[in-house]
Amino acid sequence: MPVATQNAQAGPSRHRNRQELSQQQDGSDDERLQKPQVLAEEGWTIETFTDLPVVKTLPTLAFIAGLVGKCKELITRIEEGMEKAMAAATLIEEASPDHEMLEQFEKEFRSGIERKQQMLIKIQVLESMHMQLRQNQDLDNPMGFYKQETARREQEYRGKTLRQKFKEDQDYINFRTAIWEVNHEGTAGPPTTAYLPREDEDGSDDEEIEVGMQTQNFRCPITLRPYVNAVTCVDCKHSYSKDAIMSILSNGRKRSVKCPFSGCNTAVTATKLQPDKELQRKTDAFVRRQAEREAREAEDDED
Ligand SMILES: [Zn+2]
């Protein structure tokens, strides 16, 4: 909701505040930053952050930025839980494909996505407040704005169908892809809608924009063998075994080489390469599964 609407709703009790505010506004920007309204020092928290007009001051901006930081910390913790649920789900799929316990971990993972979305909504609202202050728009009722705006967006999210929430959600796609990859390495899986029942609110044009799962390949494009110390180019997101790409780069004493992935013309340099622990972990799991499969097949042959 724009701040102007908030102003219109402000009651008489705010007139005094507005007068104080306009007096403060006579000062230059620099003066306002030098003599900030003391907020954090007076024990301001999100709960006491109410009914006072807030103008752009360094403590206010720092306070809001601090809240955004807290939300981001919580997202990291939620993601840790989601990673555990995903790891458990892939182990179950490995031991017993389509086992009913998979459903339980999927629910857990989805609820992680929902909680993460709630935190992202809070961050969006806080960042919009931060932005308004930076543009010298005073916030008449910051807590009211924060509460109303987060509630409105959360309600909107809760009203979505499963498909609307998860069909194109990158975390959900990763989850489904990880499970698919357990038994179908290198092949594209079904679209996520295969796992998300259609609800009445889902339009009939839904099928047309289905997103197919693109499974990862666990082989380096240079060595054609499973990745060893996988690194990923920050520009094109293609990955290579570290020694392989580094030897191409330094053998010719070149600063950059064309990405070895066919069809990719990105100039790869050593500084663009980042270790990809997640890809390496998946590759190791893939190598282990493949070895186990071969051992089983060898046993079957003996029988
Ligand atoms: Zn590339």
How far apart are the C-alpha atoms of 166 and 114, rounded to whole Å? 9
Q: What is the enclosing helix (H) or strand (E) of 274?
A: strand 273-275
Q: What is the pLDDT of residues 51-64, one digit of tens each?
A: 556 677 788 888 89
33 Cα: distance to centroid of ligand 1 (angstroms): 46
- What does pTM read for this prediction? 0.58
235 Cα: distance to centroid of ligand 1 (angstroms): 8
How far apart are the C-alpha atoms of 211 and 49, rounded to whole Å? 43
- What angle, rounded to 10 degrees, do the helices at 101-134 and 170-183 form? 150
How far apart are the C-alpha atoms of 204 and 201, rounded to whole Å? 9
209 Cα: distance to centroid of ligand 1 (angstroms): 26
272 Cα: distance to centroid of ligand 1 (angstroms): 11
Q: What is the pLDDT of residues 10-38, one digit of tens each?
A: 333 434 443 433 334 444 444 443 333 44
How far apart are the C-alpha atoms of 39 and 60, rounded to whole Å? 7
168 Cα: distance to centroid of ligand 1 (angstroms): 24
SS (H, E, C) 226-260: ECCCEEEECCCCCEEEHHHHHHHHHHCCCCEEECC
**Most confident by average pLDDT, 164-168, 198-202, 205-209:** 164-168
76 Cα: distance to centroid of ligand 1 (angstroms): 29
